A and B are shown apart, each in its own frame.
Chain A
Amino acid sequence: MLEQLLIFTRGGLILWTCKELGNALRGSPIDTLIRSCLLEERSGAASFNYDAPGTAYTLKWTFHNELGLVFVAVYQRILHLLYVDDLLAMVKREFSEIYDPKKTVYSDFDDIFRQLRKEAEARAEEIKKAKQVDKPVSNNMGNDSGDGDDNVKVRKLEAHSKGSFVANRNAPAKGIANGKENGSSNNGAFDVNKLQKLRAKGGKKTDTIVNKVPKVETKKKITKKNRVWDDSPKESKLDFTDPVSENGDENIQIVAADEGESMMDKEEIISSESESEEDEDEEAEKGTKVETKKKGWFSSMFQSIAGKANLEKADLEPALRALKDRLMTKNVAEEIAEKLCESVAASLEGKKLGSFTRISSTVQAAMEEALVRILTPRRSIDILRDVHASKEQRKPYVVVFVGVNGVGKSTNLAKVAYWLQQHDVNVMMAACDTFRSGAVEQLRTHARRLQIPIFEKGYEKDPAIVAKEAIQEATRNGSDVVLVDTAGRMQDNEPLMRALSKLIHVNSPDLVLFVGEALVGNDAVDQLSKFNQKLGELSPSASPRLIDGILLTKFDTIDDKVGAALSMVYISGAPVMFVGCGQSYTDLKKLNVKSIVKTLLK
């Protein structure tokens, strides 16, 4: 049974709710749907799951883009209702006929809705019945006599309905008849359903068995063996940290690195718009010309002047496909481009095309708006403000840098430290990469050049404990910010992800920064989603910390293939807080949303 069906405008006013289904919804599923799905450009998805204490809802929606209306149906997740999509489509059709922008009360829609719901339920029952009739009839043998009676009844009713009843009454009559039939056929087909369930359960069991085996294996593998590449004798000593480093210092001239203003503080000069617009038009024209032949071109020109009635999905197809290809050439992950195009299609379907506008330009404008909306951060990324807030509470602001191997965590950690230092913030580094040879020395060199304290415990120590002690040290000596460097790890590596999750859980940092390189392609989606998933799953606490921000590195190596930024932001919802664009201390920038969108759509 439906929990609720709402109709509201895009401006936020609820126009109609079903009064028969009077149950108040627990939590605020509609607001959550809008904030985390529709405004995040995921409106192409099929449904949205909402969990609140005590309930689990599924929400399905549809838009009427021309009138600016949204239709949402809410139902319990355990009931897999089949008729919701049909019902939403029918409700949309009927409501758009009686909609008037001035009217705000639609009480006459109650009756129409009741009827539509019965129709939809009846249709769903029919489809279900049709599916069950195909099943082996042997189970129905026992109930044949019962079925026979019902069949006769149905035929009689049908005959009557054709003759004397009004066409409208067909639906309820059929509904009742189908209900009775279903009752009996349910008894008979129950065994078939049971069989299916058992089959599904069996499948699940084999899945769990398969999962258990590798888990047991990895548990055995906890103690890491030294890697032996060839027949060379085993190395007994791994920790090569220089015990005489104190004496070595005096010989080297240490000058605090001062390379000028960090690029974070420099204004970006945006190039003139005229050039890019010309390119845009050329590309767009090429796109349409490639897709359509001569006749198609003429009709599209005619349509653009006359203004076609409504945009259909088929019309949007070619323009969207061209746009998707363009995004993919800019290194946006394939499934992200796909989802984005679906979302834009959902928001444009049914809209009236203005005269003198081509379909491609409408689609382009919609896509540009969607991209700006995704890349605009959802919360403030003012780190300095957060640092000041932590300072008042006399706690250090802890930032943890996570990511896969070789993306530039240590380098960019130093850049962030340089920038913070330029703004009179006391920074401390924590060397929690206790695995890679030279990681601690690398950080030590940076610390020496920037003249900031570093907390290190050498190699082969537990990173979580090192981080904890580093934070305690920072509280003691009054550092405002602690930057924690971790070892690079692949997102599939279960024990390493578990160690990371433990580090984050034990130390509860203020900012978990995922460092990703801009060169990555489709793997960005996998990396981020697996990182978030593992951090969520493996954390022992009830509300686990996920990735709060993204640091995009190696931005200077890609010319205009900036798509990785979009993929990462879309899949994780976290804003891009810094962009690393070089290998010296000053090469750290903020993300310029407008220029990225322009480059993506060029």
Chain B
Amino acid sequence: MDTDKAEQLKAELQQWFNQAEQLIRQIPPNQLYAAVGIVLLTVFVFILVRVFKRTISNTVVLTGLSGSGKTTLFYQLRDGSSHQGTVTSMEPNESTFVLHSETSKKGKIKPVHIVDVPGHSRLRSKLDEFLPQAAGVVFVVDALEFLPNSRAASEYLYDILTKASVVKKKIPLLILCNKVDKASAHTREFIRKQLEKEIDKLRASRTALSAADITNEFTLGVPGETFAFSLCHNKVTVAEASGLTGDISQLEQFIREHVEP
């Protein structure tokens, strides 16, 4: 019985095939070739677009502790002024635009996609959404209130530097000391040294948890040597800026370096 049914099915399929062949034969060959060609072309274009999207990324991510001045810097980059002030962000700010200082330049300038991720500890997970597509990361540090927050800042920085996406893609990182317009702000050398010291200590205590620490995927630097930013796989630089007064030239330089103009 089963073999009979199978044969019946086969016969039906054969009939189907014959009918289809006849239909196709009826269509003039040019049209057929044209249709197939168009389908192939669209598929090809899709693949191309996908591939291109991956190689060229124009995203720069602004991150740092809550209250360091990321949102102010974001609006300075976009509009050249911080408007009426900011409050703690509850959501990321992202937008693609031409840097405000370059709007006066002539010629075609490629817009930059800047993302400002909230620094509040409960919203840290939002950073992971944007890191994979980042061409550069800016870690904003409050140079005025640096010492009370130095431990939290270095922990956050350590977490970022040991993320898989940052290490594997060697995403360049800029440590931006913000609020330098105030007289009692620390110098960038001091901040750099403090951060290196704190991260050194963190390395010791984090590697003590060794294989089971699922949060940090990579370790930093060379065990035994004191940590320095120059030992990182990705390039780490330090710069200064002031969000309120609009002195962001070093930040813009970093952005332009890593996003092709």
Contact = CB atoms under 8 A, between A and B. Distances in A.
B71 A11 contact: yes
B35 interface: no
A15 B205 contact: no
Measured as residues with beta carbon below 8 angstroms from the partner, the interface class of chain B is 35 or more
Contacts of A133: none
A15 B85 CA distance: 8
A379 B124 CA distance: 11
Contacts of A39: 90, 120, 122-123
Given A14-B83, A378-B122, A385-B202, A31 B208 contact: no
B205 A13 contact: no
B246 interface: no
Given A14-B87, A39-B90, A372-B125, A384 B79 contact: no
Contacts of A31: 67, 87-88
Interface in A368-394: 372-373, 376-380, 382, 384-385, 388-389
Contacts of A225: none
B181 interface: no
A38 B90 contact: yes
Given A11-B71, A385-B205, A373 B87 contact: no
Contacts of A26: none
Given A12-B89, A13-B71, A373-B123, A382 B212 contact: no
B155 interface: yes
Nearest to B89: A12
Name which of A12, A70, A104, A380 has the most chain B CB atoms within 10 A of its CB.
A12
A8 interface: yes
B86 interface: yes
Interface string B148-173: 00011001000000000000000000
A30 B87 CA distance: 7
B83 A10 contact: no
A34 B83 contact: no
Interface in B26-66: 66
A12 B84 contact: no
A532 to B, nearest CB: 20
A178 to B, nearest CB: 34
A100 to B, nearest CB: 14
B214 interface: yes
B91 interface: yes
Nearest to B124: A376
A15 B88 CA distance: 14
A460 interface: no
B84 A16 contact: yes
Interface string A391-433: 0000000000000000000000000000000011000000000
B89 A11 contact: yes
B159 to A, nearest CB: 10
A13 B87 CA distance: 6
Contacts of B155: 380, 382, 385
Contact of A14 (B85, B208, B211): B85
A384 B85 CA distance: 39
B201 interface: yes
A378 B155 CA distance: 13
Contact of A13 (B83, B122, B206, B211): B83
B90 A10 contact: yes
Nearest to B84: A14
A219 interface: no
Given A39-B122, A377-B121, A388-B201, A423 B89 contact: no
A438 B116 CA distance: 57
A156 interface: no
B75 interface: yes
A264 B212 CA distance: 8
A27 interface: no
Nearest to B85: A14
A379 B122 CA distance: 9
A35 B120 CA distance: 8
Contacts of B121: 376-379
Contacts of A70: 90
Contacts of A385: 155, 202, 205-206
B209 interface: yes
A17 interface: yes
A68 interface: yes
Interface string A330-349: 00000000000000000000
A8 B75 CA distance: 14
A105 B83 contact: yes
A373 B122 CA distance: 6
Contacts of B201: 388
Contact of A423 (B91, B151, B208): B208
A94 interface: no
Contacts of A380: 152, 155
Contacts of B89: 10-12
B219 interface: no
A10 B205 contact: no
Contacts of B210: 265
A267 interface: yes
Contact of A376 (B66, B75, B88, B125): B125
Contacts of A40: 122
Contacts of A266: 212
A423 B120 CA distance: 30
Nearest to B67: A31
A351 to B, nearest CB: 13
A17 B122 CA distance: 27
A385 B92 CA distance: 30
B84 A11 contact: no
B79 A35 contact: no
22 contacts: A8-B86, A11-B71, A12-B118, A14-B85, A15-B84, A17-B84, A31-B67, A31-B87, A31-B88, A35-B66, A35-B88, A35-B120, A39-B120, A68-B91, A104-B75, A264-B212, A265-B209, A265-B211, A372-B125, A379-B152, A382-B205, A388-B204
6 A-B pairs with least C-beta separation: A12-B89, A265-B212, A11-B93, A12-B71, A10-B91, A34-B88
Given A14-B87, A266-B212, 20 more contacts: A10-B89, A11-B90, A11-B91, A12-B88, A12-B93, A13-B71, A13-B75, A30-B88, A38-B90, A39-B120, A39-B122, A68-B91, A70-B90, A104-B83, A265-B210, A376-B124, A377-B121, A378-B122, A379-B121, A379-B152
Interface of A: 6, 8, 10-17, 30-31, 34-35, 38-40, 68, 70, 104-105, 261, 264-267, 372-373, 376-380, 382, 384-385, 388-389, 423-424
